[in-house]
Structure 1
Protein backbone atom coordinates (compact mmCIF):
# COMPACT_ATOMS: atom_id res chain seq x y z
CA UNK A 1 0.00 0.00 0.00
CA UNK A 2 1.35 3.43 -0.96
CA UNK A 3 2.07 5.61 2.06
CA UNK A 4 1.25 9.33 2.23
CA UNK A 5 3.24 12.19 3.72
CA UNK A 6 2.30 15.85 4.23
CA UNK A 7 5.21 18.30 4.25
CA UNK A 8 4.95 21.98 5.16
CA UNK A 9 7.08 24.66 3.52
CA UNK A 10 7.76 22.88 0.22
CA UNK A 11 8.23 25.92 -2.03
CA UNK A 12 12.04 25.72 -1.78
CA UNK A 13 14.99 24.42 0.20
CA UNK A 14 14.62 21.47 2.52
CA UNK A 15 10.87 21.09 2.01
CA UNK A 16 11.16 20.96 -1.78
CA UNK A 17 13.99 18.40 -1.52
CA UNK A 18 11.92 16.28 0.87
CA UNK A 19 8.90 16.31 -1.43
CA UNK A 20 10.99 15.33 -4.45
CA UNK A 21 12.68 12.48 -2.57
CA UNK A 22 9.47 10.97 -1.22
CA UNK A 23 7.86 11.19 -4.65
CA UNK A 24 10.87 9.51 -6.23
CA UNK A 25 10.58 6.70 -3.68
CA UNK A 26 6.96 5.98 -4.41
CA UNK A 27 5.10 7.87 -1.68
CA UNK A 28 2.02 10.02 -2.10
CA UNK A 29 3.05 13.57 -1.21
CA UNK A 30 0.88 16.41 0.02
CA UNK A 31 3.13 19.38 -0.66
CA UNK A 32 1.99 22.48 1.19
CA UNK A 33 3.02 26.13 1.15
CA UNK A 34 1.36 29.47 1.75
CA UNK A 35 0.86 30.14 -1.96
CA UNK A 36 0.93 26.88 -3.95
CA UNK A 37 2.90 27.02 -7.19
CA UNK A 38 2.02 24.13 -9.54
CA UNK A 39 5.12 24.77 -11.66
CA UNK A 40 7.41 23.53 -8.86
CA UNK A 41 6.58 19.84 -9.28
CA UNK A 42 5.56 17.28 -11.87
CA UNK A 43 2.47 15.24 -11.02
CA UNK A 44 4.09 11.81 -10.56
CA UNK A 45 1.06 9.87 -11.82
CA UNK A 46 -1.45 11.32 -9.39
CA UNK A 47 0.72 10.86 -6.28
CA UNK A 48 1.11 14.61 -5.65
CA UNK A 49 -1.43 16.94 -4.05
CA UNK A 50 -0.51 20.62 -3.77
CA UNK A 51 -2.36 22.48 -1.00
CA UNK A 52 -2.19 25.90 0.69
CA UNK A 53 -1.14 25.86 4.34
CA UNK A 54 -0.26 28.72 6.65
CA UNK A 55 1.17 27.11 9.77
CA UNK A 56 0.11 30.13 11.88
CA UNK A 57 -3.58 29.70 10.92
CA UNK A 58 -5.43 26.79 12.62
CA UNK A 59 -8.19 26.87 9.98
CA UNK A 60 -5.58 26.51 7.24
CA UNK A 61 -4.05 23.51 9.04
CA UNK A 62 -7.44 21.83 9.38
CA UNK A 63 -8.24 22.46 5.72
CA UNK A 64 -4.94 20.91 4.63
CA UNK A 65 -5.61 17.81 6.71
CA UNK A 66 -9.09 17.46 5.24
CA UNK A 67 -7.77 17.98 1.72
CA UNK A 68 -5.00 15.45 2.19
CA UNK A 69 -7.28 12.78 3.63
CA UNK A 70 -9.82 13.41 0.87
CA UNK A 71 -7.09 12.95 -1.76
CA UNK A 72 -5.35 9.85 -0.37
CA UNK A 73 -7.48 8.45 2.47
CA UNK A 74 -4.85 8.84 5.20
CA UNK A 75 -1.79 10.85 6.23
CA UNK A 76 0.83 8.38 7.38
CA UNK A 77 3.54 10.95 8.11
CA UNK A 78 3.54 14.70 8.74
CA UNK A 79 6.64 16.90 8.51
CA UNK A 80 6.67 20.30 10.21
CA UNK A 81 9.36 21.87 8.05
CA UNK A 82 8.07 25.43 7.57
CA UNK A 83 10.10 27.90 9.60
CA UNK A 84 11.78 31.28 9.62
CA UNK A 85 15.28 32.26 10.70
CA UNK A 86 16.71 35.20 12.61
CA UNK A 87 20.07 36.58 13.54
CA UNK A 88 20.01 39.41 16.06
CA UNK A 89 21.26 40.90 19.30
CA UNK A 90 18.82 40.05 22.09
CA UNK A 91 18.53 43.50 23.65
CA UNK A 92 17.77 45.03 20.24
CA UNK A 93 15.14 42.48 19.19
CA UNK A 94 11.60 43.84 19.68
CA UNK A 95 8.80 41.69 21.04
CA UNK A 96 7.05 41.84 17.67
CA UNK A 97 9.97 40.05 16.00
CA UNK A 98 10.30 37.52 18.83
CA UNK A 99 6.60 36.72 18.53
CA UNK A 100 6.85 36.39 14.75
CA UNK A 101 9.62 33.78 15.13
CA UNK A 102 7.75 31.83 17.80
CA UNK A 103 4.39 31.99 16.03
CA UNK A 104 5.84 30.06 13.08
CA UNK A 105 8.67 27.96 14.46
CA UNK A 106 7.13 27.01 17.79
CA UNK A 107 3.42 27.69 18.13
CA UNK A 108 2.74 26.75 14.52
CA UNK A 109 4.46 23.40 15.07
CA UNK A 110 2.49 22.82 18.27
CA UNK A 111 -0.78 23.63 16.50
CA UNK A 112 -0.05 21.32 13.57
CA UNK A 113 0.74 18.46 15.93
CA UNK A 114 -2.46 18.98 17.91
CA UNK A 115 -4.43 19.02 14.67
CA UNK A 116 -2.98 15.87 13.06
CA UNK A 117 -2.81 13.67 16.18
CA UNK A 118 -6.58 12.86 16.25
CA UNK A 119 -6.45 11.81 12.59
CA UNK A 120 -3.47 9.54 13.28
CA UNK A 121 -5.17 8.04 16.34
CA UNK A 122 -8.21 7.19 14.21
CA UNK A 123 -5.92 5.57 11.64
CA UNK A 124 -4.10 3.62 14.34
CA UNK A 125 -0.65 4.78 13.21
CA UNK A 126 1.44 7.75 12.11
CA UNK A 127 4.76 9.57 12.32
CA UNK A 128 5.20 13.25 13.15
CA UNK A 129 8.58 14.75 12.19
CA UNK A 130 9.51 18.17 13.50
CA UNK A 131 12.43 19.92 11.82
CA UNK A 132 14.63 21.88 14.22
CA UNK A 133 18.29 22.86 13.81
CA UNK A 134 21.88 22.16 14.77
CA UNK A 135 21.44 25.31 16.89
CA UNK A 136 19.51 23.19 19.39
CA UNK A 137 22.70 21.18 20.01
CA UNK A 138 25.48 23.75 19.71
CA UNK A 139 24.25 27.33 20.03
CA UNK A 140 26.43 29.90 18.29
CA UNK A 141 26.28 33.69 18.80
CA UNK A 142 23.54 35.93 17.33
CA UNK A 143 20.81 33.25 17.22
CA UNK A 144 19.42 33.35 20.77
CA UNK A 145 15.80 33.97 19.73
CA UNK A 146 15.85 31.48 16.86
CA UNK A 147 17.57 28.82 18.99
CA UNK A 148 15.02 29.32 21.76
CA UNK A 149 12.15 28.77 19.31
CA UNK A 150 13.70 25.52 18.10
CA UNK A 151 14.87 24.25 21.51
CA UNK A 152 11.26 24.48 22.65
CA UNK A 153 10.27 22.16 19.80
CA UNK A 154 12.97 19.67 20.83
CA UNK A 155 11.63 19.34 24.37
CA UNK A 156 8.05 19.29 23.12
CA UNK A 157 8.75 16.49 20.64
CA UNK A 158 10.61 14.27 23.07
CA UNK A 159 7.80 14.50 25.61
CA UNK A 160 5.18 14.04 22.89
CA UNK A 161 6.86 10.82 21.76
CA UNK A 162 6.00 9.26 25.13
CA UNK A 163 2.38 10.44 25.01
CA UNK A 164 1.79 8.97 21.58
CA UNK A 165 3.67 5.67 21.83
CA UNK A 166 0.61 3.77 23.04
CA UNK A 167 -1.31 4.86 19.92
CA UNK A 168 1.38 3.59 17.51
CA UNK A 169 2.31 7.18 16.63
CA UNK A 170 5.96 8.25 16.57
CA UNK A 171 7.23 11.81 17.19
CA UNK A 172 10.68 12.54 15.79
CA UNK A 173 13.19 15.32 15.15
CA UNK A 174 15.29 16.11 12.10
CA UNK A 175 18.16 18.46 12.97
CA UNK A 176 19.64 20.19 9.89
CA UNK A 177 22.98 21.94 9.98
CA UNK A 178 23.93 25.31 8.52
CA UNK A 179 23.02 25.68 4.85
CA UNK A 180 23.81 29.20 3.61
CA UNK A 181 22.59 28.46 0.09
CA UNK A 182 18.93 28.06 1.04
CA UNK A 183 16.29 30.82 1.02
CA UNK A 184 15.82 30.11 4.72
CA UNK A 185 19.28 31.43 5.54
CA UNK A 186 18.94 34.43 3.23
CA UNK A 187 15.58 35.37 4.76
CA UNK A 188 17.03 35.12 8.26
CA UNK A 189 19.84 37.48 7.32
CA UNK A 190 17.31 39.95 5.91
CA UNK A 191 15.49 40.04 9.27
CA UNK A 192 18.78 40.91 10.95
CA UNK A 193 18.75 44.38 9.43
CA UNK A 194 18.56 46.99 12.18
CA UNK A 195 18.85 44.42 14.97
CA UNK A 196 22.59 44.80 15.60
CA UNK A 197 23.26 48.04 17.53
CA UNK A 198 26.49 49.98 17.04
CA UNK A 199 27.80 48.80 20.42
CA UNK A 200 27.76 45.24 19.10
CA UNK A 201 29.01 45.95 15.58
CA UNK A 202 32.56 44.77 16.20
CA UNK A 203 31.34 41.61 17.92
CA UNK A 204 28.95 40.80 15.06
CA UNK A 205 31.56 41.43 12.38
CA UNK A 206 33.98 39.12 14.19
CA UNK A 207 31.24 36.46 14.40
CA UNK A 208 30.66 36.68 10.65
CA UNK A 209 34.40 36.34 10.07
CA UNK A 210 34.39 33.17 12.18
CA UNK A 211 31.53 31.77 10.10
CA UNK A 212 33.66 32.33 7.00
CA UNK A 213 35.97 29.65 8.37
CA UNK A 214 33.22 27.13 9.08
CA UNK A 215 34.56 23.98 10.81
CA UNK A 216 32.86 21.45 8.49
CA UNK A 217 31.22 21.27 5.10
CA UNK A 218 27.82 22.92 4.87
CA UNK A 219 24.61 20.92 5.21
CA UNK A 220 22.80 20.14 1.96
CA UNK A 221 19.14 19.82 1.07
CA UNK A 222 19.76 16.21 0.03
CA UNK A 223 21.14 15.32 3.48
CA UNK A 224 18.08 16.77 5.20
CA UNK A 225 15.72 14.95 2.83
CA UNK A 226 17.51 11.64 3.50
CA UNK A 227 17.36 12.16 7.27
CA UNK A 228 13.63 12.89 7.00
CA UNK A 229 13.07 9.75 4.95
CA UNK A 230 14.95 7.71 7.56
CA UNK A 231 12.78 9.21 10.32
CA UNK A 232 9.62 8.38 8.37
CA UNK A 233 10.40 4.69 7.81
CA UNK A 234 12.25 3.75 11.02
CA UNK A 235 10.29 1.32 13.22
CA UNK A 236 12.55 1.81 16.26
CA UNK A 237 12.44 4.20 19.21
CA UNK A 238 15.01 6.68 17.95
CA UNK A 239 13.89 10.33 18.12
CA UNK A 240 16.73 12.47 16.71
CA UNK A 241 18.04 12.38 13.13
CA UNK A 242 20.95 14.82 12.62
CA UNK A 243 21.63 16.02 9.08
CA UNK A 244 24.91 17.54 7.99
CA UNK A 245 28.51 17.21 9.12
CA UNK A 246 28.25 20.18 11.48
CA UNK A 247 25.24 18.78 13.34
CA UNK A 248 27.06 15.49 13.82
CA UNK A 249 30.19 17.29 15.02
CA UNK A 250 28.22 19.40 17.48
CA UNK A 251 26.31 16.36 18.76
CA UNK A 252 29.55 14.52 19.41
CA UNK A 253 30.97 17.53 21.25
CA UNK A 254 27.82 18.06 23.27
CA UNK A 255 27.20 14.50 24.35
CA UNK A 256 30.67 12.91 24.37
CA UNK A 257 32.83 15.48 26.16
CA UNK A 258 32.87 17.54 29.31
CA UNK A 259 31.03 20.84 29.55
CA UNK A 260 34.37 22.64 29.77
CA UNK A 261 35.70 21.01 26.59
CA UNK A 262 32.44 21.62 24.75
CA UNK A 263 32.39 25.33 25.66
CA UNK A 264 36.06 25.76 24.76
CA UNK A 265 35.56 24.22 21.30
CA UNK A 266 32.40 26.25 20.65
CA UNK A 267 34.29 29.46 21.39
CA UNK A 268 37.13 28.39 19.14
CA UNK A 269 34.75 27.71 16.26
CA UNK A 270 32.14 30.44 16.57
CA UNK A 271 32.78 33.07 19.21
CA UNK A 272 35.11 36.04 18.49
CA UNK A 273 38.00 36.72 20.80
CA UNK A 274 36.91 40.32 21.33
CA UNK A 275 34.49 41.99 23.70
CA UNK A 276 31.44 43.71 22.24
Structure 2
Protein backbone atom coordinates (compact mmCIF):
# COMPACT_ATOMS: atom_id res chain seq x y z
CA UNK A 1 0.00 0.00 0.00
CA UNK A 2 1.33 3.42 -0.98
CA UNK A 3 1.60 6.44 1.31
CA UNK A 4 1.07 10.08 0.32
CA UNK A 5 1.98 13.09 2.43
CA UNK A 6 -0.08 16.18 1.59
CA UNK A 7 0.45 19.69 2.93
CA UNK A 8 -2.26 22.28 3.48
CA UNK A 9 -5.08 19.82 4.18
CA UNK A 10 -7.26 22.05 6.35
CA UNK A 11 -9.36 23.16 3.36
CA UNK A 12 -9.65 23.42 -0.40
CA UNK A 13 -7.34 21.52 -2.70
CA UNK A 14 -5.40 19.75 0.04
CA UNK A 15 -8.49 18.52 1.85
CA UNK A 16 -10.11 17.25 -1.34
CA UNK A 17 -6.88 15.57 -2.43
CA UNK A 18 -6.63 13.78 0.92
CA UNK A 19 -10.23 12.57 0.53
CA UNK A 20 -9.55 11.26 -2.97
CA UNK A 21 -6.43 9.31 -2.01
CA UNK A 22 -8.22 7.84 0.99
CA UNK A 23 -11.16 6.81 -1.20
CA UNK A 24 -8.73 5.06 -3.54
CA UNK A 25 -7.09 2.96 -0.86
CA UNK A 26 -3.90 4.85 -0.06
CA UNK A 27 -2.39 5.63 3.31
CA UNK A 28 -2.69 9.39 3.76
CA UNK A 29 -0.61 11.68 5.95
CA UNK A 30 -2.68 14.86 5.97
CA UNK A 31 -0.76 17.82 7.35
CA UNK A 32 -1.85 21.28 8.42
CA UNK A 33 -0.57 23.98 10.72
CA UNK A 34 -3.32 23.34 13.26
CA UNK A 35 -4.35 19.68 13.09
CA UNK A 36 -8.06 18.86 12.96
CA UNK A 37 -9.19 15.26 12.98
CA UNK A 38 -12.82 16.08 12.15
CA UNK A 39 -12.22 17.18 8.57
CA UNK A 40 -11.70 13.71 7.09
CA UNK A 41 -13.56 10.44 7.67
CA UNK A 42 -12.04 8.18 10.35
CA UNK A 43 -9.72 5.61 8.82
CA UNK A 44 -6.90 3.34 9.88
CA UNK A 45 -5.08 4.60 6.79
CA UNK A 46 -5.19 8.25 7.86
CA UNK A 47 -2.80 10.25 10.00
CA UNK A 48 -3.24 13.96 10.68
CA UNK A 49 -0.03 15.75 11.59
CA UNK A 50 0.97 19.29 12.46
CA UNK A 51 3.21 20.90 9.86
CA UNK A 52 4.29 24.47 9.21
CA UNK A 53 6.43 24.45 6.06
CA UNK A 54 8.16 27.66 7.15
CA UNK A 55 9.47 26.04 10.36
CA UNK A 56 12.44 23.68 10.06
CA UNK A 57 11.73 21.97 13.39
CA UNK A 58 8.12 21.38 12.34
CA UNK A 59 9.27 19.84 9.08
CA UNK A 60 11.70 17.50 10.83
CA UNK A 61 9.07 16.38 13.32
CA UNK A 62 6.43 15.74 10.65
CA UNK A 63 8.77 13.80 8.38
CA UNK A 64 9.95 11.65 11.27
CA UNK A 65 6.37 10.97 12.39
CA UNK A 66 5.20 10.18 8.86
CA UNK A 67 7.71 7.40 8.25
CA UNK A 68 8.21 6.06 4.71
CA UNK A 69 6.42 8.15 2.08
CA UNK A 70 5.91 7.30 -1.60
CA UNK A 71 4.41 10.59 -2.84
CA UNK A 72 4.83 14.14 -1.54
CA UNK A 73 2.17 16.66 -2.49
CA UNK A 74 3.30 20.22 -1.78
CA UNK A 75 -0.02 22.02 -1.72
CA UNK A 76 0.33 24.48 1.18
CA UNK A 77 0.42 28.10 0.08
CA UNK A 78 -1.38 31.40 0.06
CA UNK A 79 -2.06 34.29 -2.28
CA UNK A 80 -2.16 38.04 -2.29
CA UNK A 81 -3.17 40.92 -4.51
CA UNK A 82 -1.43 44.24 -4.85
CA UNK A 83 0.00 46.51 -7.54
CA UNK A 84 3.72 45.91 -7.46
CA UNK A 85 4.43 49.57 -6.70
CA UNK A 86 2.39 49.19 -3.51
CA UNK A 87 3.34 45.66 -2.49
CA UNK A 88 5.03 45.61 0.93
CA UNK A 89 8.30 43.74 0.77
CA UNK A 90 7.28 41.90 3.92
CA UNK A 91 4.38 40.44 1.92
CA UNK A 92 6.74 39.41 -0.87
CA UNK A 93 9.07 37.69 1.58
CA UNK A 94 6.15 35.91 3.25
CA UNK A 95 4.78 34.67 -0.09
CA UNK A 96 8.15 33.29 -1.13
CA UNK A 97 8.85 31.84 2.31
CA UNK A 98 5.72 29.67 2.13
CA UNK A 99 5.10 29.14 -1.58
CA UNK A 100 8.71 28.61 -2.66
CA UNK A 101 11.16 28.14 0.20
CA UNK A 102 8.78 26.07 2.32
CA UNK A 103 8.01 23.83 -0.64
CA UNK A 104 11.72 23.26 -1.24
CA UNK A 105 12.49 22.71 2.45
CA UNK A 106 9.96 19.89 2.80
CA UNK A 107 11.05 18.39 -0.50
CA UNK A 108 14.67 18.36 0.68
CA UNK A 109 13.60 16.56 3.84
CA UNK A 110 12.01 13.70 1.88
CA UNK A 111 14.33 13.42 -1.12
CA UNK A 112 16.98 11.29 0.63
CA UNK A 113 14.53 8.44 1.24
CA UNK A 114 13.20 8.71 -2.34
CA UNK A 115 16.69 8.70 -3.82
CA UNK A 116 17.96 5.85 -1.66
CA UNK A 117 14.88 3.75 -2.39
CA UNK A 118 15.03 4.51 -6.12
CA UNK A 119 11.39 5.61 -6.31
CA UNK A 120 9.09 8.43 -5.28
CA UNK A 121 7.07 11.29 -6.68
CA UNK A 122 7.00 14.98 -5.82
CA UNK A 123 3.84 16.78 -6.93
CA UNK A 124 3.96 20.54 -6.54
CA UNK A 125 0.67 22.41 -6.71
CA UNK A 126 1.41 25.92 -8.01
CA UNK A 127 -0.94 28.07 -10.10
CA UNK A 128 -2.21 28.76 -13.60
CA UNK A 129 -1.39 32.45 -13.07
CA UNK A 130 2.12 31.43 -14.13
CA UNK A 131 0.80 30.72 -17.64
CA UNK A 132 0.33 34.34 -18.69
CA UNK A 133 1.01 37.87 -17.43
CA UNK A 134 -1.64 39.09 -15.00
CA UNK A 135 -1.85 42.37 -13.09
CA UNK A 136 -2.18 42.73 -9.31
CA UNK A 137 -0.75 39.28 -8.51
CA UNK A 138 2.86 39.88 -9.48
CA UNK A 139 4.46 38.81 -6.20
CA UNK A 140 2.23 35.76 -5.81
CA UNK A 141 2.79 34.83 -9.46
CA UNK A 142 6.56 35.19 -9.03
CA UNK A 143 6.56 32.88 -5.99
CA UNK A 144 4.67 30.22 -7.95
CA UNK A 145 6.78 30.67 -11.09
CA UNK A 146 9.87 30.11 -8.94
CA UNK A 147 8.30 26.91 -7.63
CA UNK A 148 7.70 25.82 -11.22
CA UNK A 149 11.35 26.38 -12.08
CA UNK A 150 12.50 24.46 -9.00
CA UNK A 151 10.25 21.54 -9.93
CA UNK A 152 11.51 21.35 -13.49
CA UNK A 153 15.13 21.33 -12.34
CA UNK A 154 14.29 18.78 -9.66
CA UNK A 155 12.77 16.48 -12.27
CA UNK A 156 16.01 16.56 -14.27
CA UNK A 157 18.16 15.94 -11.19
CA UNK A 158 16.07 13.10 -9.79
CA UNK A 159 15.32 11.19 -13.00
CA UNK A 160 18.56 9.14 -12.77
CA UNK A 161 17.41 7.94 -9.33
CA UNK A 162 13.96 6.85 -10.47
CA UNK A 163 12.22 9.78 -8.76
CA UNK A 164 9.65 11.89 -10.61
CA UNK A 165 8.58 15.52 -10.11
CA UNK A 166 5.45 17.04 -11.62
CA UNK A 167 3.45 20.27 -11.50
CA UNK A 168 -0.29 20.79 -11.06
CA UNK A 169 -1.49 24.25 -12.09
CA UNK A 170 -4.95 25.05 -10.68
CA UNK A 171 -7.15 27.84 -11.98
CA UNK A 172 -9.35 30.23 -10.02
CA UNK A 173 -11.28 28.43 -7.30
CA UNK A 174 -13.88 30.66 -5.60
CA UNK A 175 -15.44 27.65 -3.84
CA UNK A 176 -12.35 27.21 -1.64
CA UNK A 177 -10.95 29.34 1.21
CA UNK A 178 -8.07 30.57 -0.98
CA UNK A 179 -9.75 33.88 -1.79
CA UNK A 180 -10.71 34.48 1.85
CA UNK A 181 -7.16 33.73 2.96
CA UNK A 182 -5.74 36.10 0.34
CA UNK A 183 -7.84 39.02 1.60
CA UNK A 184 -5.43 39.48 4.45
CA UNK A 185 -2.62 40.00 1.96
CA UNK A 186 -3.81 42.90 -0.14
CA UNK A 187 -2.34 46.37 -0.43
CA UNK A 188 -2.71 49.38 -2.68
CA UNK A 189 -5.94 48.32 -4.36
CA UNK A 190 -7.55 51.60 -3.25
CA UNK A 191 -4.56 53.73 -4.26
CA UNK A 192 -5.80 56.62 -6.39
CA UNK A 193 -3.58 55.58 -9.27
CA UNK A 194 -4.79 51.97 -9.31
CA UNK A 195 -8.28 51.87 -7.77
CA UNK A 196 -10.34 52.13 -10.97
CA UNK A 197 -8.17 49.62 -12.78
CA UNK A 198 -8.21 47.21 -9.83
CA UNK A 199 -12.00 47.34 -9.52
CA UNK A 200 -12.44 46.78 -13.24
CA UNK A 201 -10.01 43.87 -13.35
CA UNK A 202 -11.44 42.16 -10.27
CA UNK A 203 -14.99 42.57 -11.61
CA UNK A 204 -14.01 41.00 -14.93
CA UNK A 205 -12.48 38.02 -13.17
CA UNK A 206 -15.56 37.57 -10.98
CA UNK A 207 -17.84 37.62 -14.01
CA UNK A 208 -15.95 34.77 -15.66
CA UNK A 209 -17.96 31.62 -14.99
CA UNK A 210 -15.13 29.32 -16.06
CA UNK A 211 -13.55 28.21 -12.79
CA UNK A 212 -11.68 25.40 -11.07
CA UNK A 213 -13.19 23.12 -8.44
CA UNK A 214 -11.23 21.36 -5.72
CA UNK A 215 -12.03 17.98 -7.26
CA UNK A 216 -10.36 19.08 -10.52
CA UNK A 217 -7.13 19.65 -8.63
CA UNK A 218 -7.39 16.40 -6.67
CA UNK A 219 -7.80 14.43 -9.89
CA UNK A 220 -4.83 16.21 -11.46
CA UNK A 221 -2.69 15.42 -8.41
CA UNK A 222 -3.78 11.78 -8.61
CA UNK A 223 -2.71 11.66 -12.25
CA UNK A 224 0.64 13.26 -11.48
CA UNK A 225 1.23 10.81 -8.64
CA UNK A 226 0.21 7.61 -10.43
CA UNK A 227 0.82 8.09 -14.17
CA UNK A 228 4.53 8.13 -15.08
CA UNK A 229 3.63 9.15 -18.65
CA UNK A 230 1.80 12.34 -17.61
CA UNK A 231 3.24 15.70 -18.75
CA UNK A 232 5.41 17.85 -16.54
CA UNK A 233 2.68 20.49 -16.19
CA UNK A 234 -0.94 19.48 -15.65
CA UNK A 235 -3.49 22.32 -15.73
CA UNK A 236 -6.38 21.67 -13.34
CA UNK A 237 -9.79 23.17 -14.01
CA UNK A 238 -11.55 24.44 -17.12
CA UNK A 239 -10.04 27.93 -16.87
CA UNK A 240 -6.52 26.58 -16.31
CA UNK A 241 -6.90 24.25 -19.29
CA UNK A 242 -8.03 27.17 -21.49
CA UNK A 243 -5.06 29.28 -20.40
CA UNK A 244 -2.66 26.40 -21.01
CA UNK A 245 -4.08 25.96 -24.52
CA UNK A 246 -3.57 29.68 -25.22
CA UNK A 247 0.00 29.49 -23.98
CA UNK A 248 0.87 26.41 -26.05
* Range into which the TM-score falls when normalised by the shorter chain: over 0.9
Greater CA deviation, 55-64 or 80-89? 55-64
- How high is the TM-score relative to the length of structure 2? 0.96
Q: Indicate conservation of the 8 Å contact 1:93/1:195, yes or no.
A: no
Q: Indicate conservation of the 8 Å contact 1:176/1:247, yes or no.
A: yes
For structure 2, the residue ranges without an aligned partner over 5 or more in a row are none
Q: Indicate conservation of the 8 Å contact 1:92/1:196, yes or no.
A: no
> Number of aligned pairs?
248
1:30 matched to 2:29: yes
Q: Indicate conservation of the 8 Å contact 2:223/2:230, yes or no.
A: no
Give the counterpart of 2:110 among 90, 109, 116: 116
Distance 2:161 2:190 in 1: 47
For structure 1, the residue ranges without an aligned partner over 5 or more in a row are 256-276
- How high is the TM-score relative to the length of structure 1? 0.87
Cα offsets for 1:186-214 (capped at 9, x unmatched): 11133215554222111111112211331
CA RMSD of aligned residues (A): 1.2
Distance 2:180 2:36 in 1: 21
Cα offsets for 1:64-114 (capped at 9, x unmatched): 111110xxxx20000000001001111111111110111000111111111
Distance 1:237 1:221 in 2: 20
Q: Indicate conservation of the 8 Å contact 2:88/2:187, yes or no.
A: no
Give the counterpart of 1:179 among 173, 180, 194: 173
Give the counterpart of 1:213 among 196, 207, 210: 207
- 1:264 matched residue in structure 2: none
- 2:237 matched residue in structure 1: 244
Secondary structure of 2:151's counterpart equals: helix
Q: Indicate conservation of the 8 Å contact 1:89/1:196, yes or no.
A: no
- 1:198 matched residue in structure 2: 192
Runs of 4+ in 1 over 3 A off after TM superposition: 193-196
State the shift of 1:42 in Å: 2.1
- 2:54 matched residue in structure 1: 56
